[in-house]
Chains A and B, each alone.
Chain A
Amino acid sequence: MAALLELRHITKRYDAPGEQQVSVLQDIDLTVEEGEFVAILGPSGSGKSTLLRIIAGLVRASSGEVRYRGQPIKDTNPGVSMVFQSFALFPWLTVLENVELGLRYKPLSEEEKRQRALDVIDMIGLDGFEGAYPRELSGGMRQRVGLGRALVMEPDILLMDEPFSALDVLTAENLRRDLLELWLERKIPTKSIIMVTHGIEEAVYMADRAVVLSRDPATVIADIHIGLPHWRERKEEAFTRLVDRIYSILTHSREAHQKTLITASGAQRRYVVLPPVQAGALTGFLELLDDLEIKSDLYKLADEIMFDLDELLPIVEAAQLLGFATVSQGDISLTEVGKRFAAANVLERKEIFRAQLHERLPIFERIRWVLESKRNRRMPREFFLEVIRKNVGTEEAESQLDTIIDWARYSELFAYDESTKVLYLEDDDEAAHA
């Protein structure tokens, strides 16, 4: 018998017009059987949401095939429904109307549709809110409606795109448990759940399987069976061991990724993708590490400063990228440069930062070089956007350039005028003369 869902050699490229194509997903194979709860994990920007949308048939893969029960899908996947990060409820429809929409094309009478919708609303714990509009509900209740709308379609596969990340900690936990209860006690006919998340803990808590993606382009680097019995305890050793293991797979892939970059950088000067982190956040983090003065376990560190581990990851990556910190086996420590940076005053810090940019990230040197070789020492943002687009694709380029500009402004490497959208060098000599 055919598997419930099969992905065969899925590759997704974004076309940078006239340029070399940028791969987001590369040759991804995945088989999901009935009864499986799969979590897809990966660093931010790794294309996990894109992968989910390819499974749903909302986005077309550049090559490869999605099979549902052995049949390749052409349009929207007939076997799925989806829960969205932003809930995606229709604000002008009541809870009941929103849920009922999921039944629109089912061959049922209107009474039957209403009854089924009401049953689902009961099941997700929104009894009494049928006539309410989404704006009257709290975030957690809105996501319950989103879940109800997906479940009422009685899909074989329930897709969830970071369903809890827009909720506060307690609400998210509450909803996780309720969903898990529906799933584990077979109260819903759903045959399989695929959840995209950036929460390692969340994945280990809920799923039977964690599929870990790498980045630039994303490939499957690990497929981990999570065999712990439900309900799982987060403090248990087996649990934390699994979290640590997945964590080190994720960071290890980063290190490996970086190593290839650094060795290549001498010869080839490849573009290094920057994590979207503000310079201010990075300096704050380095100061914090310096204060702690010891090697810290990242997982515990995140817990201590009340950060989601996944909010911390990009900052850690930035610190690594600039050579301020190193991570090994889930522990982070400052390098010599990092220590010097943390102890320095504002002006010295800028200098150190500038030196690190120069040494490690060729794009900064290139921009500086372009600006210096122009007589008026100015160049439109659009020009550099085009350069970056060739490397990372159109969608990512804007945010990459924003990060570049932020870091450059912090270190006074070059300046930027938002109103004219021009990068320029501040001319100290001329200013002195004028």
Chain B
Amino acid sequence: MLRTGTIGGRPVRFSWVDAVVILFVFSLLYVIVRLGSGMGVPFSPGEGPQISLDWRMLPYYAGRSLLRMFIALGLSLIFTFIYGRFAALHARAERIMIPLLDILQSVPVLGFLSVTVTAFLALFPHRLLGAEFAAIFAIFTGQVWNMTFGFYHAVSTIPRELREAAAIQRFDGFTRFTRLELPHGMISLVWNGMMSFGGGWFFLAASESISVLGQNIQLPGLGSFMAKAMTEGDIPALLEAIVAMVIVIVLVDQLFWRPLVAWSQKFKMELSNAQDPPRSWFLDLLRRSKVSAWIARHIFGAAYRALDRAILHTVMARRQATREQRGKGVVRRALAWALTSVIAIGAAYYAWIGVNEIAALGWADLGQAVLLGMFTLLRVMASTLIALVWTIPVGVAIGTNPRASRIAQPVVQILASFPANMFFPLIALLYLHLHVNFELGAIPLMMLGTQWYILFNVIAGAQAIPNDLKEAAKVLRLRGWERWKTLILPCIFPYVITGCITASGGAWNASIIAELVHWQSTTLTASGLGAYITETTARGDWPRIILGIVIMALLVTLVNRFVWRPLYQLADRRYRIEVSGR
């Protein structure tokens, strides 16, 4: 019955593919061990490890960066499963947990970085591990919300009859999770994971090299390499780093995400076969290989089956037990109450401290922060609008041309993943030469990383314009502006809004590093909340750091509520093209 290792019933022989796979597995194991051992290197603040600008060190640095990214991804997954599932299954908790998630999502992660670095350094003094954790935590907070939302949504939209089928068969929690919830959420999980991972590079680059409380901490990694190349003005090293970054992004995409996306298609809910499913050459290769099939079956498969059996055993034993004696529910409920109250009390306590610290600042400070927030808000809006102006025509041109979009889409995806903040100093140099006003000059910096999300979505939207509508427009002889107004813009509108939401969220985060840029000894500053947070962080001015972050989170939440959400709902209601029939 289990037909692993065959494709279309054709038996597979041992081949060169297997040799490659073996090599791959071994190298993977080695790299993880080798890189992991580097994490615990002793470290005393002030004199961190030296970053070498030798290009031969790049693979090692790339590996260290990758390791951070994957650890963060793993943590994000664990958080996603626990939080997303709990919120979806407990109506009472859901009412608190989902709005909370919405707010957490609006907290500028990079503003948080200073707080977490200090906290983790305090937890692991004299060790690089603290900074390591802080960097991972920054990437984690950049990735996790999106994935959690996706999974929560997937679990809460499981069709009623499937839920009932699970209930009739008396599934326990584990069985429900592995047979129903996880598979049902798989496609969204992989997709959101891929998007979040791409966005994670930005946070990685920002968090590997950071100055906090007057200290400059540098973790070995691609981000630090680039930061150092910048500070020393070493252009060849900078180019090498960029090439390495692109290679890493492409490799991860081709060897990890593409195969996962292709594989996850088997969890599609539609009971019919898709027309043009995503494919991956690497997954095809793995499926053709006997060794990977053997590993899948005898290592991962066996481990999973053993776990499954063990859990089934305990479940059956417990069911037997509960039939004999009841009353555990009371203990459990008491525990839940205790836990909830501890969390609530803790949250209240820290909120009280925070409020007190901010209250000590007085109205002038508050006014200043809000004013600066308005400046940043204007920049965020401007960056999104300017991005729209060029991405819509270009994206539509690409999207309506199948050949162009086949080439452009992967390129745009890499551009979106590439940490734009690595270029900031270079552009700052340009500004210095051309005497550009940095108050305005910060806007392109914010755009640099976020515009690709809009472009990506516009291309997807243009591709999705239904053929009959295009033909109808032709028959009606719609041309020029008329054609744009009645056909193209309404069709791509939902996609544009989706892109704008992602882009403006990214721009808020970018503001923290885009409004204050160093090039060697020169510093360019734009007046804005981002620069305010960065400056107060460097000084270690806690009340103002908190104030800055709170104001920014508040602004992001308000803009989401009153600008983006209504627009999104409008798009969903009026302009969503339903694909009916087949």
Q: List 16 A-B contacts (CB under 8 A).
A: A56-B164, A58-B167, A58-B168, A84-B164, A90-B180, A92-B183, A92-B186, A96-B1, A104-B169, A104-B175, A104-B312, A105-B170, A131-B1, A135-B271, A142-B271, A419-B573
| Interface status of B266 (Cβ within 8 A of chain A) | yes
Which 3 pairs across A and B sit closest by C-beta, in order of nearness? A88-B161, A88-B165, A92-B183
| Interface status of B316 (Cβ within 8 A of chain A) | yes
| Interface status of A153 (Cβ within 8 A of chain B) | yes
**Alpha-carbon gap, A92 to B268, bound state (A):** 8
How close is A258's CB to chain B, nearest CB, in angstroms?
32
State which of A74-82, A191-199, A408-416 sits at the interface with chain B: A74-82
Q: Cβ of B266: which chain A residues have Cβ within 8 Å of it? A: 92, 133
Most buried by A among B168, B170, B179, B574: B168
Q: Cβ of B570: which chain A residues have Cβ within 8 Å of it? A: 419
Task: Identify A101's interface contact among B169, B267, B268, CB under 8 A.
Answer: B169
| Interface status of B162 (Cβ within 8 A of chain A) | yes
Q: Which residues of B contact A (CB under 8 A)?
A: 1, 3, 159, 161-162, 164-165, 167-171, 175, 179-180, 183, 186, 266-273, 312, 315-316, 319, 570, 573-574
Task: Identify B3's interface contact among A76, A86, A105, A131, CB under 8 A.
Answer: A131
Task: Identify B273's interface contact among A86, A104, A135, CB under 8 A.
Answer: A135
How close is A294's CB to chain B, nearest CB, in angstroms?
38
| Interface status of A227 (Cβ within 8 A of chain B) | no
Q: Cβ of A105: which chain B residues have Cβ within 8 Å of it? A: 169-170, 312, 315-316, 319
B161 touches A84 (CB 8 A): yes
How close is B323's CB to chain A, nearest CB, in angstroms?
11
B169 touches A153 (CB 8 A): yes
A80 touches B312 (CB 8 A): no
Q: Which residue of A lies closest to B175 (CB)?
A: A104
Task: Identify A84's interface contact among B165, B271, B319, CB under 8 A.
Answer: B165
| Interface status of A70 (Cβ within 8 A of chain B) | no
Chain A interface, DSSP helix/strand/loop, else mixed: loop
**Alpha-carbon gap, A105 to B176, bound state (A):** 13
- Extra inter-chain contacts (17) besides given A76-B168, A96-B1, CB under 8 Å: A53-B164, A56-B168, A76-B167, A80-B168, A81-B168, A82-B164, A84-B164, A86-B161, A88-B159, A90-B165, A91-B270, A94-B1, A114-B1, A134-B271, A135-B273, A136-B273, A419-B574
B169 touches A107 (CB 8 A): no
B179 touches A101 (CB 8 A): yes
How close is A240's CB to chain B, nearest CB, in angstroms?
34
Q: Which residue of B lies closest to A117 (CB)?
A: B1
Give A365-402 interface residues, CB cut-off 8 Å to B.
none
| Interface status of A422 (Cβ within 8 A of chain B) | no
**Alpha-carbon gap, A409 to B126, bound state (A):** 75
Q: Cβ of B315: which chain A residues have Cβ within 8 Å of it? A: 105
B164 touches A88 (CB 8 A): yes
With A86-B159, A105-B170, A107-B316 in contact, is A92–B164 under 8 Å at CB?
A: no
Q: Which residue of B lies closest to A139 (CB)?
A: B271
Q: Which residues of A contact B (CB under 8 A)?
A: 53, 56, 58, 76, 80-82, 84-94, 96, 101-102, 104-105, 107, 114, 130-131, 133-136, 142, 149, 153, 418-419
A91 touches B164 (CB 8 A): no
**Alpha-carbon gap, A313 to B427, bound state (A):** 73
Q: Cβ of A96: which chain B residues have Cβ within 8 Å of it? A: 1
Q: Which residue of B lies closest to A421 (CB)?
A: B573
A82 touches B165 (CB 8 A): yes
Q: Which residue of B lies closest to A134 (CB)?
A: B271
**Alpha-carbon gap, A17 to B186, bound state (A):** 36
B3 touches A90 (CB 8 A): no
B170 touches A76 (CB 8 A): yes
Q: Cβ of B179: which chain A residues have Cβ within 8 Å of it? A: 90, 93, 101
With A76-B170, A105-B170, A105-B316 in contact, is A91–B271 under 8 Å at CB?
A: yes
Task: Identify A91's interface contact among B3, B170, B267, CB under 8 A.
Answer: B267
B270 touches A135 (CB 8 A): yes
Q: Cβ of A136: which chain B residues have Cβ within 8 Å of it? A: 273
Q: Which residue of B lies closest to A92 (CB)?
A: B183
Q: Which residue of A lies closest to B172 (CB)?
A: A105
Q: Which residue of B lies closest to A84 (CB)?
A: B161
Q: Cβ of B312: which chain A residues have Cβ within 8 Å of it? A: 104-105
A88 touches B267 (CB 8 A): no
Task: Identify A58's interface contact among B164, B272, B573, CB under 8 A.
Answer: B164
**Alpha-carbon gap, A419 to B171, bound state (A):** 42
Q: Cβ of A153: which chain B residues have Cβ within 8 Å of it? A: 169
Q: Which residue of A lies closest to B164 (CB)?
A: A58
**Alpha-carbon gap, A92 to B154, bound state (A):** 15
**Alpha-carbon gap, A102 to B165, bound state (A):** 10
Task: Identify B162's interface contact among A85, A90, A104, A133, CB under 8 A.
Answer: A90
**Alpha-carbon gap, A423 to B352, bound state (A):** 48
Q: Cβ of B319: which chain A residues have Cβ within 8 Å of it? A: 105
Q: Which residue of A lies closest to B3 (CB)?
A: A131
How close is B205's CB to chain A, nearest CB, in angstroms?
37
B168 touches A91 (CB 8 A): no
Q: Cβ of B3: which chain A residues have Cβ within 8 Å of it? A: 131
Q: Cβ of B164: which chain A residues have Cβ within 8 Å of it? A: 53, 56, 58, 82, 84, 88
B169 touches A102 (CB 8 A): yes
How close is A404's CB to chain B, nearest CB, in angstroms?
21
How close is B255's CB to chain A, nearest CB, in angstroms?
24
Q: Cβ of B162: which chain A residues have Cβ within 8 Å of it? A: 88, 90
**Alpha-carbon gap, A133 to B179, bound state (A):** 14
**Alpha-carbon gap, A135 to B273, bound state (A):** 7
How close is A364's CB to chain B, nearest CB, in angstroms?
26
**Alpha-carbon gap, A53 to B163, bound state (A):** 12
Q: Which residue of B lies closest to A80 (CB)?
A: B168
**Alpha-carbon gap, A289 to B271, bound state (A):** 39
Q: Which residue of A lies closest to B305 (CB)?
A: A110
**Alpha-carbon gap, A107 to B167, bound state (A):** 19
Q: Cβ of B170: which chain A residues have Cβ within 8 Å of it? A: 76, 105
**Alpha-carbon gap, A104 to B171, bound state (A):** 9
Q: Cβ of A53: which chain B residues have Cβ within 8 Å of it? A: 164
**Alpha-carbon gap, A82 to B175, bound state (A):** 19
**Alpha-carbon gap, A84 to B186, bound state (A):** 24
A91 touches B269 (CB 8 A): yes
**Alpha-carbon gap, A434 to B477, bound state (A):** 31
**Alpha-carbon gap, A91 to B272, bound state (A):** 10
**Alpha-carbon gap, A88 to B160, bound state (A):** 9
Task: Identify A82's interface contact among B1, B168, B272, B273, CB under 8 A.
Answer: B168
Q: Cβ of A82: which chain B residues have Cβ within 8 Å of it? A: 164-165, 168
Most buried by B among A85, A101, A133, A418: A101
Q: Which residue of B lies closest to A420 (CB)?
A: B573
Q: Which residue of B lies closest to A107 (CB)?
A: B316
**Alpha-carbon gap, A176 to B267, bound state (A):** 31
Q: Cβ of B159: which chain A residues have Cβ within 8 Å of it? A: 86, 88
**Alpha-carbon gap, A340 to B525, bound state (A):** 81
How close is A118's CB to chain B, nearest CB, in angstroms?
9
**Alpha-carbon gap, A88 to B162, bound state (A):** 5
**Alpha-carbon gap, A94 to B266, bound state (A):** 11
How close is B519's CB to chain A, nearest CB, in angstroms?
51
Most buried by B among A82, A102, A133: A82
Q: Which residue of A lies closest to B272 (CB)?
A: A135
How close is A254's CB to chain B, nearest CB, in angstroms?
28
Q: Which residue of A lies closest to B268 (CB)?
A: A91
Q: Cβ of B272: which chain A residues have Cβ within 8 Å of it? A: 135
**Alpha-carbon gap, A93 to B171, bound state (A):** 15
How close is B344's CB to chain A, nearest CB, in angstroms?
27
How close is B310's CB to chain A, nearest CB, in angstroms?
14
**Alpha-carbon gap, A214 to B460, bound state (A):** 51
**Alpha-carbon gap, A84 to B167, bound state (A):** 13
Q: Cβ of B167: which chain A residues have Cβ within 8 Å of it? A: 58, 76
Q: Which residue of A lies closest to B315 (CB)?
A: A105
Q: Cβ of B168: which chain A residues have Cβ within 8 Å of it? A: 56, 58, 76, 80-82
Q: Cβ of B171: which chain A residues have Cβ within 8 Å of it? A: 104
**Alpha-carbon gap, A153 to B165, bound state (A):** 12
**Alpha-carbon gap, A82 to B3, bound state (A):** 30
How close is A61's CB to chain B, nearest CB, in angstroms?
16
Most buried by A among B1, B3, B183, B270: B1
